[in-house]
Amino acid sequence: ESSLRGTKPEDHNILCNLANLYKDLLRVMDGEQLTRWLPELITTIINHSVRLPLVSGFYKLLAAVLGVADRTNYFQDESEDHQSLERYVMRYLEDVVVHCKQYKNDLQASSLLAVIAAPVHLIQSLLAGIPPMMQMIFQLGQGYVSIAHSGMDALERWQDKLPSDQLKPILYQVLPSFDPYLRSTGILIEEESEEEIKLSKTQQKRTKRMAESTQLSKLQGRMLKLLSKLDSATCLSLLRQENTSAVA
């Protein structure tokens, strides 16, 4: 078990900070310039993650890199090199789907988000395991709204790209998870900026209330927009599971 931990207490935080930095950089960089490096990036990250499966930073890095692969349609190339890498990624993702249920907190969230960041045609091979994963994501999102937004990112992407017969079984099981968000009138944001810390307590409370309202309203708007694009039978699946719990 000791081999699964950093040799220094601060190692984990440093890697997570680097992962967040690279995630922001990769999001704005030209994807075409990155494609030549994708095989090495993906292989290196997965190898480290397999060796150290309890380090959340590797899942965060992989999610960012798979996002680049998705927007550049990297795995649509049918060359043997691309197909070989695709098979390697699929074996890894299948393993993550199995083990993520055992993880907790940030580790679980990071592993879940790495899977749903995968290009859509890779997700098609994992469809059986996707609904419970999305349910976990929206459960975690009740405490960390950014996770719920990531879940919506995936659903919106799948709504555009997955065939209806593959998307509907996912939605039937996931839409009930919207209920506590749509019923709620406030979600606490998970962190304060440096500027907020410097404000007086009264100003902090006012700023936090505004942030809560903004984050929740954005999420609710995205959920309602997604629902508006569905047929009535699918929308009614929102009522299949009674869920009266309030978002913390």
Read off the pLDDT of residues 60-90 as tens digits, 9 standing for 90 and up. Answer: 999 999 999 998 999 988 899 999 999 999 9
pTM for the predicted model, two decimal places = 0.81
Q: Give the separation between CA 109 and CA 116, rounded to whole angstroms.
A: 11
Burial class (CB in 10 A: 0-12, 13-18, 19+), 239: exposed
pLDDT at 199 over 60: no
Task: State pLDDT tens for residues 105-121.
Answer: 899 999 999 999 999 98
220, 182 in Cβ contact below 8 A? Answer: yes
pLDDT score, position 49: 95
Give residue limits of the domains in the chain. 10-118, 130-185+204-247
pLDDT tens per residue across span 210-248: 555 688 889 999 999 999 999 888 888 777 654 434 444
Rounded Cα gap, residues 97 and 198, in angstroms: 42
Per-residue buried b or exposed e for 112-141, using 16+ beta carbons within 10 Å of the residue's own CB: bbbbbbbbeebbeebeebbbebbbbbbbbb
Checking if the pLDDT of 131 tops 90, the result is yes
Burial class (CB in 10 A: 0-12, 13-18, 19+), 2: exposed
pLDDT in tens, 132-168: 999 999 999 988 899 999 999 999 999 999 999 999 9
Q: Please provide the size of the chain in residues.
A: 248
What is the Cα–Cα distance from 35 to 32, expressed in whole angstroms? 5
Alpha-carbon gap, residue 227 to 234, rounded angstroms: 9
The residue behind tokens 């290009």 is 119
The CA distance from 219 to 181, in Å, is 8
- Cα distances from 185 to residues 43, 226, 243, 247, in angstroms, run 43, 20, 16, 9
